[in-house]
Structure 1
Amino acid sequence: MAVPSLDLAWHYVAGGEEREPREPFPIERPVPAELAPGRGEALRVTWLGHSTTLLEIDGRLILTDPVLGPRASPVSWMGPKRFHPAPIEPEQLPPLDAILVSHDHYDHLDFPTILRLAARDTIWITALGVGAHLEAWGVRPERIVELDWWGSTEVAGLEVTATPARHFQGRGPHSSSMTHWASWALRGPRHSVWFSGDTGRWDEGFAEIGERFGGFDLSLVEIGAWHPAWGQIHLGPENALRVHHQVRAKTLMPVHWGTFNLALHAWDQPICHLLDLAEATGVQLLSPMMGVTSHRESGVAEFWRRRRTHLLGPGALAPA
């Protein structure tokens, strides 16, 4: 049942959750040279915070939803502030085959970060209408590829397909109908990844993705900035597991958490709840520390396991 908006507003003001870390938590600062792709046909991933990841798929490098600035906000002086410095500066990233932007919300499309990446000789892949933002910020139009759902493009032998998602768009009152959003399927010669972007639960849509592509080696699925009343636009831990199974992925890596205060839950509630669920169901989970490059099929950083003691209970904020 949806929570009335007045109740949500009161919860926002009076709730006692630890929505931001009281003390800084450790992050790793990757060595830029070590982020360059290897010669092998590998699958590696580096979580850079929120939904920003550096993916190596069979020697191709893809950056997802680049947000490396200090705020997820239209202005620099207010709005959700990053819990910690970004693990890397945009200029330190290695040459990229593609930059993927799922949609145009401020926590996925960051103006300061785009400005610092715009001059790169790389392909930008995004949903319909979002390219106008990129072009206005200095990305050359011939380097922008916009895709509708089920549309595909190929970059350096990597097939990128826009797949369905249930969300919304816009960066202000006058832009709400001008852009689209998507989840994304990335398939190399040997490995494949599905990236949820932002989405709510949509059983038929995600089951079709699994049927069409026959599964993925890795799913990057949003788990944070959620509430039971927001099920049409965000997943949360339980529905993230559901979607992971529906798209037929082998390993689940949670994203969209641990970086900004965008909801009413404790900052670590999503990962703590997901760890409990994964342990109970046997899901193969990959959740390294921020900035760590992982090529393993599973593994959870000990720091996140210790945070489970802060969860009030496995049912906290669970959908009814």
Structure 2
Amino acid sequence: MSALTRTVGRAARGLPTAIGAGAAQIRPVASGSPRYDGRTFSNPEPSAVLTLRDGLSLLPALLRRRDGGRPSTAVPLVTAPPPAQAGDLAVTWLGHATTLIEIDGRFVLTDPVWSRRVSPSPTVGPARLHPVPIAVGQLPALTAVVISHDHYDHLDLATVRQLVATQSAPFLVPLGIGAHLRRWGVPDDRIVELDWDDSHTVDGLELVCARNRHFSGRGLRRNTTLWCSWALIGPRHRVYFGGDTGYTEAFAQTGRDRGPFDVTILPIGAYDEHWPDIHLNPEEALDAHRDLGGGLLVPIHWATFDLALHSWAEPVRRLTAGGGDARIATPRPGERVDATRPGPADPWWEGPDPTT
């Protein structure tokens, strides 16, 4: 019994802090939004979300699949540090939804997660399938950090605290997430909270909080904070970061209002028929890319954490098979893609990388 108690104690250590702020701390900012009903945010389009009962019904399938969501060999990484100076247009995928974007000489970091697990517990929850290619301390000076929503695989307490200590850039977040950041020690003057369609300019770079179709929640609370994608509009280039989203009519609207985009960074993994409205599948990501007037598509939200029932490489296989004439870059984690002259696609996920 004492061993069990110790195990439970380790799993629960730090949970209240990691879960973040409560509704009372979030409400003062959220209540200013027409999308907030006094308790929660919602999508304009009907959007079914997996219920607890649905989740329990999936347990047999999860048990049968065993290691189907894991790669058969080590994931090849590129561990070269990023350049000290940002280029005109480039993307370094660091795994899952964490990317380092270079746009018109500025660096923007998206959904930074360096922790081993995407969970409020350090010992329980989905663990990484590959290491982070670089350390937080190797990041260059950032212009901004953007966060799409407050799920653990997109908003990570330990990483936020590291960025507070090592960077001076502001955190741009959808409404309500500022309360989590304040609880974790982020100074007020480094937090910018925005509603859909609002924007904020940092060093000549306009960052637009763009409507998408998802949900939020930490612990047992759902939808107390807003979710979004981000449109980055520089003097010469435009980049769209999807974060995490299902297919929505908002893509076409954003394409008309803010596009066309030189690069779209869109999620392609963790989809399932049980939650079709809140995660893109690969074919929907291609549709979204076209809606946005995308030039180069960089897929994210696959390969790093096992969060669905599909096999590990299925998302990228479906994406490349159905891509048609779309320009698609498929970097290894840590690999920098120069969007002005991307190299040929390499199906590195099909076997060991001979260069490593």
**TM-score normalized with structure 1 length:** 0.88
Q: Check whether the contact 1:225–1:257 (CA below 8 A) recurs between aligned residues.
A: yes
The DSSP-based 3-state class of the residue aligned with 1:270 is helix
Q: Which amino acid aligns with 2:274?
A: A
- Name which of 147, 163, 184 aligns with 1:117: 163
In structure 1, the partner of 2:329 is 286
Judge which range, 175-184 or 11-20, deviates more: 11-20
In structure 2, what is the Cα distance between the partners aligned to 1:58 and 1:111?
Answer: 29
Name the structure 1 match of 2:307: 262
Q: 2:105 aligns with which of 42, 59, 76?
A: 59
Aligned to 1:200: 246
Give 1:9 deviation, angstroms.
Answer: 2.7
**Contact 1:289–1:301 at 8 Å: present in 2 too?**
no
Q: 2:211 aligns with which of 164, 168, 184?
A: 164
Q: For each residue in 1:112-134, what CA deviation from the matched residue of structure 2 results, as whole angstroms up to 9, or x when unmatched? A: 11111113211110100001111
Counterpart Cα distance in 2 of 1:16 and 1:73: 21
Matches within 5 A, 1:133-152: 133-152=180-199
**Equivalent residue for 2:84, pick from 36, 52, 55:** 36
| 1-structure distance, mates of 2:236, 2:349 | 31
Structure 1 gap ranges (5+):
308-320
1:72-83 aligned at under 5 Å gives the runs 72-83=118-129
| In 2: Cα distance, 1:22 partner to 1:70 partner | 19
SS at match of 1:230: coil
1: distance between equivalents of 2:67 and 2:343? 27
Matches of 2:93 and 2:278 in 1, distance apart? 23
Q: Which moved more, 1:185-194 or 1:134-143?
A: 134-143
1:26 aligns with 2:69: no
CA distance in 2, matches of 1:60, 1:261: 32
Equivalent position SS for 1:55? strand
Aligned to 1:132: 179
Distance (whole Å) between structure 2 residues aligned to residue 67 and residue 23 of structure 1:
23
Deviations 1:224-259 (A, max 9, x none): 111123111100101101111111111111001110
What do residues 240-296 of structure 1 show as CA deviations (whole Å, max 9, x unaligned)?
A: 011111111111110011100100011111011111111xx2110011111111114
TM-superposed deviation, 1:306: 3.1
Is 1:244 aligned with 2:256?
no
Q: Secondary structure at the residue paired with 1:74?
A: coil
Shift of 1:182: 0.3
Partner AA of 2:179 in structure 1: A
| Aligned-partner SS, 2:222 | coil
Q: 1:291 to 1:131 in 2, by over 3 A?
A: same
Separation of aligned partners in 2, 1:177 and 1:225:
19
CA positional deviation for 1:8: 2.8
Asked if the contact 1:55–1:61 (Cα under 8 Å) also holds between the matched residues in 2, the reply is yes
Deviation at 1:301, TM superposition (A): 4.9
For 1:89, give the aligned amino acid.
A
Q: Following the alignment from structure 1 to structure 2, what is the Cα–Cα distance between the partners of residues 58 and 117?
A: 22
Tell me the amino acid that sits aligned with residue 172 of structure 1: G
Alpha-carbon distance in 2 for matches of 1:59, 1:163:
23
TM-score (norm 2): 0.80
- Residue aligning to 1:318: none
User: Does the 8 Å CA contact 2:89/2:338 hold for their aligned counterparts?
Assistant: yes
- Equivalence for 1:316: none
RMSD of aligned Cα (Å): 1.8
SS at match of 2:288: helix
Gaps of 5+ in 2: 1-47, 352-356
1:221 alignment partner, one of 266, 270, 291: 266
User: In terms of mean alpha carbon deviation, does 14-23 or 147-156 score higher?
Assistant: 14-23
Residue 101 (structure 1) aligned to one of 126, 147, 155: 147
Match of residue 228 from structure 2 = 182
Provide the rounded CA distance (Å) in 2 between the counterparts of 1:303 and 1:250. 20
State the 1:7 CA deviation. Answer: 5.2
Which residue is equivalent to 1:310?
none
**Which is higher, the Rg of structure 1 or of structure 2?**
2
Sequence identity percentage: 45
CA distance in 2, matches of 1:9, 1:247: 37
Q: Which segment is superposed worse, 252-261 or 111-120?
A: 111-120
Q: Which residue of the partner structure matches residue 306 of structure 1?
A: 350
Q: Is the 8 A contact 1:58 1:188 kept in 2?
A: yes
Distance 1:260 1:300 in 2: 26
Q: Which amino acid aligns with 1:29?
A: T
